[in-house]
Amino acid sequence: MTQANKKKRVVIKIGSSSLTSLHGEISRRKLEKLVDEVVRLKDDGHEVLLVSSGAVAAGYRKLGCLSRPTTLPEKQAAASIGQGLLIESYSDLFLSHGYVASQILITRSDFSNENRYENARNTINVLLERGIIPIINENDTITIDRLKFGDNDTLSAKVAALVDADKLIILSDIDGLYDADPRKNKDAKLLEKVYEITPEIEAAAGDPGSAVGTGGMKSKIDAFKITMASGISAFLGKANRPNVVYDAVYHDAVGTYFEPKPDTENLDHKKQWIAFNSGPEGKVIIDQDAKETIVEQKKSLSPSNIHHVSGRFKKGAVVRIMGVHGEEIGLGVVNYSSETISKMVSLTMDELASYEQAAIEKEDFVCHLEVSVPVGV
């Protein structure tokens, strides 16, 4: 293969509105279009994962609901019906082309637990190496709201980072990212390439999701923050455009391409988990003078840097490192519990000096800044 056609690992996210009919049921035509494009990529030698919404939308009418449920038990019951219908349809279509699909249902707690996170990576890698097409969705049947990813845009970006994908493709009911809402502003312009998520882009992304799906443009921008921090290219385009998936992989599709800056230091697996999945358990608030030390000089925190701690956490926990004025500096891993750190902060100057000398010799600091940018996703 040429460089342009080399084997890629591609994650494709498709939302409910791009999979279902106007009546809320699975659209065979839409599924066939997606599967045909995935098959073309597979035939070209690429590895493909699908992050597919649609379980609740596919199942709620079979549950006897006339419209999408609003209560959690009904949503979860609809998902339990729809998930089976969805995977059955995918499996039948892929098998007709000679490919095998697998189902993976994930919860946020699977990602927040580092061991389960690594296990998920290993499982998916085996499937991809064997030529299988993993179809991933959040386990909506059992997940409670406070433990949800929130939407499959975020899930797809985290999956892309998990498996070291080359590209994330998010399919939607809009052509890409505009500089204003095209439904309200006829002069809105499509942004073809984005190299940085600016405050202006975030401000323009506050639209709600569709009647069928849950994710709006803001959730997609949050997803692209993750891919760009992880060094992964991404694309946002309209699901019903002919060949949009296939063309996006070869950079020929109409839409918006999100490209990480070449000089950006990509987060490794450990830092990705800390930044996007760990769920910080408390806060370490540092003095103003310590900010330059840990951010620019990449040094670890000692007790003399710390103003106070907030929350309760154990040794090894991930914490937010904050300035005294409330600004978030980043995330770190503590070597001591919150109780022990609080005691250290109250030491006398002589006791602090003695402790810090010993810490330097043993390289046993209170906390090290692992992620120096507050990703906030």
What is the pTM (predicted TM-score) of this model? Answer: 0.82
What is d(CA 39, CA 10) in angstroms, rounded to the nearest whole number? 12
Q: Please tell me whether residues 82 and 183 are part of one structural domain.
A: yes
pLDDT tens digits, residue range 67-103?
A: 888 888 898 898 889 888 899 999 999 999 999 999 9
Q: What mean pLDDT comes out for the span 146-174?
A: 85
Say what the pLDDT of residue 33 is.
Answer: 95
In a domain, 249, yes or no: yes
In a domain, 377, yes or no: no
In a domain, 2, yes or no: no
For residue 164, what pLDDT band results from cuts at 50, 70 and 90? very high
Q: Please tell me whether residues 138 and 188 are part of one structural domain.
A: yes
Which comes out higher in pLDDT, residue 371 or 57?
57
- Confirm if 303 and 347 have CB atoms less than 8 A apart: yes
Q: Please tell me whether residues 206 and 296 are part of one structural domain.
A: no
Instruction: Please list, in sequence order, all residues whose beta carbon lies within 8 angstroms of the beta carbon of residue 230, skipping any fewer than 6 positions away.
Output: 160, 161, 260, 266, 267, 272
Q: Please tell me whether residues 190 and 290 are part of one structural domain.
A: no
For residue 172, what are its two tokens?
């939607």
What percent of the chain lies above the pLDDT cut of 70?
Answer: 84
In a domain, 275, yes or no: no
Which comes out higher in pLDDT, residue 125 or 352?
125
Number of domains, the chain: 2
On the question of pLDDT at 32 being above 80, the answer is yes
Q: Please tell me whether residues 194 and 49 are part of one structural domain.
A: yes
Say what the pLDDT of residue 173 is.
Answer: 85
What is d(CA 81, CA 296) in angstroms, rounded to the nearest whole number? 53
Say what the pLDDT of residue 5 is.
Answer: 61
What is d(CA 302, CA 289) in angstroms, rounded to the nearest whole number? 12
The alpha carbon dihedral of 329, 232, 10, 47 has a sign of negative
Q: Please tell me whether residues 162 and 264 are part of one structural domain.
A: yes
Q: Please tell me whether residues 168 and 23 are part of one structural domain.
A: yes
Which of 247, 270, 293 finishes a domain?
270
Which comes out higher in pLDDT, residue 45 or 206?
45
In a domain, 38, yes or no: yes
Nearest residue to 217 (alpha-carbon basis) of 183, 253, 264: 183
Which of 228, 249, 270 finishes a domain?
270
Q: Please tell me whether residues 329 and 201 are part of one structural domain.
A: no
Look up the domain containing 363 and give its range: 280-371
Which of 217, 247, 270 finishes a domain?
270
Mean pLDDT, rounded, of the chain: 83
Q: Please tell me whether residues 245 and 316 are part of one structural domain.
A: no
For residue 196, what pLDDT band results from cuts at 50, 70 and 90? confident
What is d(CA 355, CA 306) in angstroms, rounded to the nearest whole number? 14
CATH number at residue 154: 3.40.1160.10
Q: Please tell me whether residues 155 and 195 are part of one structural domain.
A: yes
- Confirm if 261 and 202 have CB atoms less than 8 A apart: no
In a domain, 149, yes or no: yes
- Confirm if 100 and 38 have CB atoms less than 8 A apart: no
pLDDT tens digits, residue range 265-306?
A: 677 778 888 888 878 889 999 887 777 777 666 667 777 778
What is d(CA 7, CA 326) in angstroms, rounded to the nearest whole number? 45
CATH number at residue 354: 2.30.130.10
Q: Please tell me whether residues 238 and 339 are part of one structural domain.
A: no
Say what the pLDDT of residue 287 is.
Answer: 82
On the question of pLDDT at 146 being above 70, the answer is no
In a domain, 3, yes or no: no
In a domain, 1, yes or no: no
Q: Please tell me whether residues 306 and 352 are part of one structural domain.
A: yes
For residue 359, what pLDDT band results from cuts at 50, 70 and 90? low
Say what the pLDDT of residue 219 is.
Answer: 86
pLDDT tens digits, residue range 309-333?
A: 899 999 888 898 888 888 888 888 8
For residue 2, what pLDDT band results from cuts at 50, 70 and 90? very low
